Copies of this chain bind each other. A is one copy, B any other.
Amino acid sequence: MSEQLAQRLCGELTKLVLVDPHTHINPHSPASKTLADIMGYHYYTELAHSAGMPKSHIEEPGLDPKTKVGRLVESLTNLDNTIQVSWLVELCRKFFGFTDDRITPANWESLYDKAAAKMAEPDWEDQCLKQSGIERVFLTNDFDDPLTGFDSSRYIPCLRTDDLVFHFANPAVRERLTRATGIEPTSPAKIKQAIGKLFEHFTKHGAKACAISLPPSFSPQPPSHLTELESRFNAAFIDQDLATTGLTSIRSQGQEFIFWTIAEFCAEFQLPFDLMIGVNRRVYPGGVYQGQDLFDQRVSLIQYKELFNAFPQVTFPISVLAQVSNQELVSYSWIFPNVVTNAHWWYSNIPTYIELDTKARLQAVPRNKQIGYYSDMYKLEFAWPKFSMYRQCLARALAQDFVVARKWSEDEALALGRQVLRGNVESIFKV
């Protein structure tokens, strides 16, 4: 009964055209060309490797796309239970006329060819977006991205700042900053000036958000030792062999200075600052490309207390990597006006956790402060299956907790669903 109700709600929610508020789409090549682009998504390569396929087999230099797909298909027999592989099958059924339930050594070649033909159609990008019910897509842009050559009414720039905060010691990063801004970042004041230039550039080109991913240990404090940062500039920002851990270290102060400067410009330029909290990079350096990061669940939003208090005028859409962080996210969003919940990220982006997290958010966070979902996709084809998964979870939560338990009408429940799916994306990011 409540399952049928959930399906009915899901059907209605599927009619709503969406804005996807966080992706890694390359606007110069947004859609896939072959199944290798699709199955090259790190979810498939890392799961294939985890299930036993050597990295060298997957990442062999010069591997042609079709052979690569053939190899990856071999491991699907160990992976068909995963929700990630269900995305793959769903998108093949949706877009490429695939009619089987599983991709196997026996059927993949014809699928490969049909998919290639479909994706070769000149309007594939448009078709894919249309069929997926997506009309606008946020990007993740390097800070030195020229932001030209694409339709910014469809692809909305977002200033990604990980490099500035965490890789400033890398000379290549500083050179990119100098080239992008004309300012050599040789003092805290110059760094600030250069970052200001980036914000001018991005907002002039329609950027609607600034974003960063953060390790579990990060706990930014307001910069307080500017004289020390100036006098020990190399230690704070440049020296590569410096141990960078520990809150009190000069390097941490340097990182915090840049982070805080970015937050200040978010205030000045009225950009929401997406915080993606909790990732440890390169935990498994022997893993495949983009399949090396993990996390430490011992993290708390209390680490951002000073930030949230210092910038009441900046909206912080927050994604947490650890599912155990969701209750803190719910509670901080319920108390802080400038904290909003942002989707279901990466290792938390599986139905079991989405459902629990969605239920808690819908029960305790103001409805205008919840961004339901983003796809995080690298290629357009993934918006459909990922948003479908989320809609199923959302519809189930609305059915059980609102229509059944609280006697809401289906229309009232759908209005809530539409707000978290789309309305809040528009109001929070002003798109």
Binding site for B on A (CB under 8 A): 1-3, 46-47, 49-52, 78-84, 86, 101, 280, 283-287, 291-302, 305, 308-309, 312, 322-325, 327-328, 330-337, 347-348, 350-353, 356, 359-360, 362-369, 392, 401-402, 404-408, 416
Residues of chain B contacted by A330 (CB below 8 angstroms): 347
A327–B324 touching, CB < 8 Å: yes
Residues of chain B lying within 8 A (CB to CB) of residue A78: 366-369
Contact (A337, B81) CB under 8 Å given A2-B3, A363-B351, A404-B3: no
A353→B327 contact, CB < 8 A: yes
Q: Does B363 contact A350, Cβ atoms closer than 8 Å?
A: yes
Cβ-defined contact, B294 with A331, below 8 A = yes
B residues in contact with A331, CB < 8 Å:
294-295, 347
Question: Does B405 lie within 8 Å of A366, measured CB to CB?
Answer: no
User: Taking CB as reference atom, which chain B residue is nearest A81?
Assistant: B367
B334 touches A79 (CB 8 A): no
Overall SS of chain A's interface: helix
- Other contacts beyond A84-B364, A285-B309, A286-B309: 6, CB < 8 A: A78-B367, A82-B366, A83-B364, A295-B331, A297-B324, A297-B328
* Across-interface contacts of A50 in B (CB, < 8 A): 333-337, 366, 369
> Could you say which residues of chain B place their CB within 8 Å of the CB of A332?
294
Q: How far is the CA of A221 from the CA of B285 in the complex (A)?
A: 17
Q: A360 vs B79: C-alpha distance in the bound complex, in angstroms?
A: 14
The distance from the CB of A24 to the nearest CB of chain B, in whole angstroms, is 19
Query: Would B294 and A335 count as touching, CB distance under 8 A?
Result: yes
Residues on the B chain within 8 Å of A404, using CB: 3
Q: What is the CB-to-nearest-CB distance from A179 to chain B, in angstroms, rounded to a whole number?
A: 35
Expressed in whole angstroms, the Cα–Cα distance for A333 and B294 within the complex equals 11
In angstroms, Cα B328 to Cα A348, docked, is: 10
Contacting pair B296 A298 (CB below 8 A): no
Question: A86: nearest residue on chain B (CB-CB)?
Answer: B406
A268 to B58, CA, bound (A): 27
Q: Which residue of the partner chain, among B49, B284, B362, contacts A309 with CB atoms under 8 Å?
A: B284
Which residue in B82, B366, B406 is a CB contact (below 8 Å) of A79? B366
CB-based contact A47/B366 at 8 Å: yes
Say yes or no: A366-B51 contact (C-beta < 8 A), given A294-B335, A298-B298.
Answer: yes
**Quick check: A360 and B353 within 8 Å, CB to CB?**
yes
